[in-house]
Amino acid sequence: MNSMKINPEKLTTCILCGDELIRLDEPITTQCDFCGKYSTSSNRCAEGHYLCDNCLEIPLIDYIKRICLKYNDTDPIALAVDLMSSPVIMMQGPEHHFIVPAVLLTCVANSLENTDDLAQKLDIAEAASIF
């Protein structure tokens, strides 16, 4: 499951919000919403989201982990809907076996204000979700 990757060439919508990607008249320098690096882009979504090519090529499991690690709220339904609404998550894909435990671990850690070992717990959940 960990080898499944996002195919940036097939994307027509933003993987963060689902809005349509807009082709810019001229390339701009912008910051990646995942890694923080600056690079040039020829498209963005209406919300201004941008992911660099390196971040777009990460495995889906790592994408889910990054979203969870950036999430600061305690609402598991909101996080699950955000993840499952992403155009890179298949409706009945195997990544759903990881989404549920990842969401619950994230929201419990945020609720307890103890996110120090969340990345390790997500790694354990990943190992347990592989079938």
Instruction: Supply the pTM of this predicted model.
Output: 0.74
- For residue 90, give both structure tokens: 């298949």
User: Tell me, what's the pLDDT at 111?
Assistant: 97
Residues 6+ positions from 45 with CB-CB distance below 8 Å: 13, 14, 16, 17, 19, 20, 21, 22
User: Tell me, what's the pLDDT at 107?
Assistant: 98
User: Tell me, what's the pLDDT at 4?
Assistant: 62
Q: Where are the domains of the chain?
A: 8-55, 58-129
More confident residue, 88 or 118: 118
How does residue 7 score in pLDDT terms, banded at 50, 70 and 90?
low
User: Tell me, what's the pLDDT at 118?
Assistant: 97
Residue range 94-131, pLDDT digits in tens: 888 999 999 999 999 999 999 999 999 999 999 998 75
Residue range 23-60, pLDDT digits in tens: 889 999 999 888 889 999 888 888 888 888 888 888 88
- For residue 40, give both structure tokens: 């040039």
| 3 state DSSP class of 37 | coil
Sequence letter at residue 73: D
- For residue 75, give both structure tokens: 């609402």
